[in-house]
A and B are shown apart, each in its own frame.
Chain A
Amino acid sequence: MNIIETHALSRRFGRTEAVHDLTLSVPAGSVFALLGPNGAGKTTTLKLLMNLLPPTSGSAEVLGVDSRQLGEREFAQIGYVSENQHLPLWMTVRQLLDYCRPFYPTWDRALEATLLQQFALPASRKLAQLSRGMLMKAALLSSLAYRPKLLVLDEPFSGLDALVRDEFIRGVLEVSALGEWTVLVSSHDIEEVERLADHIALLDAGRLRLSETAESLQRRFRRVEVTNAGTGAVTATGWLEWERSGVLTRFVETCYEPEATERRWQERFGSAEVTAKPMTLREIFMVLARANRGNATEASA
């Protein structure tokens, strides 16, 4: 079951197409990372999903409801934290929670107290006086205490130092263990979410480049080194960043399947020595980002 589905979702701002023909599914219970460089259309996508912006064309369903029709009942089950959201900074943390609480029938006072303690938030301090990390934690707390079915985090780590980011991620991981919710998190840096995400979607220039589980992604990407491959070997479909240096040929295999791929390499490289190493999500993300940039440059040329 998918908690979010989009169908050819598009959004234009004048002549700029921020999101183009986006068809995406976010499975229930997943931690779904929407990745992409700055300006890729991640925030616009989340705003379309949260009905903060109307789509130019296409549609989206969130919790089974058309995003344009999202109402009080649906938002009572959605938690939204964004780096750009204007919080009522004149309130104290306690006042923010007191203000939010009556809107949610499922608000859990015990969970609120637990999170307040876990996040080490000073309840009587005004939001304006909190550090950026603390502010994001306060926003997260006000979005978690009612056990939402869907938690949407828009660039939650932006501007946070490594320590605070780690605390924040730990916070999300900890609360993930407390309930069954779906997390949709956008980020421009895979490193921020690789500990969290089990699904990855890559957005670039408003277009969806890939969307699959992190496991599948890591399974099909390999960094390959071939020694003494011979001079005849050239790049093939599914290989990225192919390069040759002396007797050493390197490339990234994007369609790795243990037996089939290795058989294909043997046919190609003969008796040459081939080593294939698994890649981290960050490495995969960087490879894909470079490839997309290269494609864009070629297209514009």
Chain B
Amino acid sequence: MKLVWHIARKDLRRFALPAAVWAVLIVAPTIALMVIEPGIGPHPPSSLDGWGRVMGIWLQILQGIQAVIALALAAALVLEDSVVETTAFWPTRPISGARLLGGKLLAAALLFCAAPVLALLPVWLAIGFDAIAVTAAASEFVSRFGTLVLFAITVAALVRNLATFLLCAFGLLAVYVASGLAPRPLWQDASMAVRQSREFLATIAIVPALLLAATHQFATRRSVRTWGMIAVVIAFLATVRSVWPWTVEMARTDSAAQTPRAGDHPGDVVAAPAFTQHQANSIPSLYGKTVWHADGFCVPLFARNPAGEVVMRSWDQIWQRTAGLRILGLEAAEQPLWWQLEAPFYFRRVRSSPVEFTGTLEVWSIRARILGETPVRVGAKLQHDATRVRILALLSHESRLDNIYLEERDSSRNTLDRLTVDGLRRDSGHERYIDAYFVVNRATQHAVEAWSHDIGATEINSVVRRFCELGFSWPESYGEPTLVKIRFERDHAFELPLEVRGISTRGLEQFR
């Protein structure tokens, strides 16, 4: 280990400067994303959207450059002690291939993972990341660049110079991407769980496969055999992605739903006995009600078909308004909460086809809490967890306040957990909360829920800056408004059986 560190220390000294420049290239755009202010014109949505798009393009270009530089630097780290060159310095010294690989991996981990994470740490802390957000951001960075660097080390161990390395690296990446696209027609017959299992297996196989190939190459310096191993791995990945038939439970991102717990009151959730039909050629909405409990209530958020795919989801969360007002203490808890699930536009049905299927409702056991509140004025701030909210602009019409334009700075981990109305398809399976904004004046007992629309989000190194438009109607007569943010957080989820037997046009009336 002492000699491994000795080799790593030599490389650290050699690559300290280029790696420091690379770390600056990592940190600088993150700071830029935070400090560059968008210019807000007379039409805030287009100003913010335009700013977000331009910033997004620049950041994508920079991220591409960061990746290419990381590849090249990691390759240079290996080529410094070339594995295939017969003129290299190390093979005639008492340095085994395994020890050299150990030194290279250690140096790469310090240069390309630890150093940039340490450089990003002050930025993350300044934004307000807590320990969980920092850990998630660091893990995300390390897994992304760690895999890239390991790939570069493996390929660089097989080539003589940087030009050949770049050619081989991009060639292999192209082959890997093609191996994912080629079997796409075979995906159609597989269930979502099987598809997720295939991608899961293909993803987790990459790091051990790269480590195996790198170890073999460093230990034996038999390049032909190592290239053969890489070819076998690519063929294996293509096969797994095409024909793997089983579900791997660990791979399921939608496995949050379980059976109801003791205090869940699954009987609270009542669905209308049939669909109502809004459009003849779409799968119509599903309505129902549930019982309000201040300490937590159950609401269906998704309907799934027998294959486990989400076919309906809660678009217009009508229960949120009622639940929000009750949390704010502005409405009595007498009536049930109404809920509605709708099919996305891409689930069209043929007009003549019957709407009959069995499936499941994914029910969330939700706890609601007020995250914070701030006066409605430009520049006002609100902070909770790793999220910082700032009011950028207000839009009034005559004597009525209609819109608030917000900026939310957040961690990408937190953003992944957020279920939004704008999301078309729920397939990440990470969502665990819904945020809602209310405009409130407690003195006059007025409160309105604001519909929220994401204008755009830009992300780099786990830092997300997004802009939202809140829409509502607040007459001057309601008094000075305060913006309140409420979070409906999933405590856990469970599934209830769903059986659809046809279409009804009576909708909610049948409950009344």
Contacts and interface: CB of A to CB of B under 8 A. Distances in A.
B92 A102 contact: no
B86 A52 contact: yes
Nearest to A72: B94
A78 B94 CA distance: 9
A72 B82 CA distance: 17
A235 B434 CA distance: 106
A89 to B, nearest CB: 10
A14 to B, nearest CB: 14
A54 B6 CA distance: 29
A75 B89 contact: no
B95 interface: yes
B80 interface: yes
Contact of A50 (B6, B92, B94): B92
A71 B96 contact: yes
A87 B81 CA distance: 10
A88 B92 contact: no
Contacts of B82: 86
A82 interface: yes
A86 B85 contact: yes
Contact of A85 (B2, B14, B80, B87): B87
Contacts of A73: 94
A103 B93 contact: yes
A50 B88 CA distance: 12
Contacts of A50: 91-92
A86 B91 contact: no
A53 B86 contact: yes
A95 B177 CA distance: 44
A15 to B, nearest CB: 18
Interface in A93-130: 99-100, 102-104
Interface string B215-237: 00000001000000000000000
B91 A52 contact: yes
A87 B89 contact: yes
Interface residues of A, number: 25
B93 A75 contact: yes
Contacts of B95: 72, 75, 103
Nearest to A73: B94
B94 A88 contact: no
Most A CB within 10 A of own CB, among B2, B3, B14, B86: B86
Contact of A82 (B80, B87, B93): B87
B278 interface: no
B89 A88 contact: yes
Contact of B3 (A47, A53, A86, A102): A102
Interface in B1-47: 2-3, 6, 10, 14
Contact of A84 (B2, B14, B87): B87
Most B CB within 10 A of own CB, among A54, A78, A103: A103
Contacts of A53: 86
A103 B3 contact: yes
A52 B92 CA distance: 8
A85 B87 CA distance: 5
B88 to A, nearest CB: 6
B416 to A, nearest CB: 43
B373 to A, nearest CB: 59
A87 B10 CA distance: 13
Contacts of A54: 222
Nearest to B99: A72
A234 B27 CA distance: 87
A86 B89 CA distance: 6
Per DSSP, chain B at the interface is loop
Interface in B57-101: 80, 82, 85-89, 91-96, 99
B173 to A, nearest CB: 28
B92 A78 contact: yes
A76 B99 CA distance: 15
A102 B93 contact: no
Nearest to A54: B222
A265 interface: no
Nearest to B13: A95
Contacts of A90: 14
Given A72-B95, A102-B2, A104-B94, A47 B89 contact: no
A86 B88 contact: yes
Interface in A37-63: 47, 50-54
Most B CB within 10 A of own CB, among A47, A72, A82: A72
Nearest to B10: A99
A88 B13 CA distance: 12
Most B CB within 10 A of own CB, among A50, A54, A87, A88: A88
Nearest to A88: B89
Contacts of B93: 75, 100, 103
Most A CB within 10 A of own CB, among B10, B14, B88, B91: B91
A80 interface: yes
Contacts of B96: 71-72
Interface string B93-111: 1111001000000000000
A50 B222 CA distance: 15
Contacts of A71: 94, 96
Most A CB within 10 A of own CB, among B82, B88, B92: B92
A103 B10 CA distance: 13
Interface in B134-160: none
A66 to B, nearest CB: 15
Nearest to A53: B86
A73 B94 CA distance: 7
Most A CB within 10 A of own CB, among B82, B93, B222: B93
A84 B479 CA distance: 85
A88 B80 contact: yes
Nearest to A71: B96
A12 to B, nearest CB: 15
A82 B86 CA distance: 11
B94 A47 contact: no
A7 B99 CA distance: 31
Contacts of B85: 86
A80 B92 contact: yes
B91 A51 contact: yes
B335 to A, nearest CB: 76
A103 B91 CA distance: 12
A67 to B, nearest CB: 12
Contacts of B14: 88, 90
22 contacts: A50-B91, A50-B92, A52-B92, A53-B86, A72-B94, A72-B95, A73-B94, A75-B92, A75-B95, A78-B92, A80-B92, A85-B87, A86-B82, A86-B87, A88-B14, A88-B80, A102-B3, A102-B6, A103-B3, A103-B6, A103-B93, A103-B94
* Interchain residue pairs A-B with the least CB separation, the first 6: A80-B92, A72-B94, A76-B94, A52-B86, A75-B94, A84-B87
Given A78-B92, A102-B3, 6 more contacts: A73-B94, A75-B94, A85-B88, A99-B10, A100-B93, A103-B94
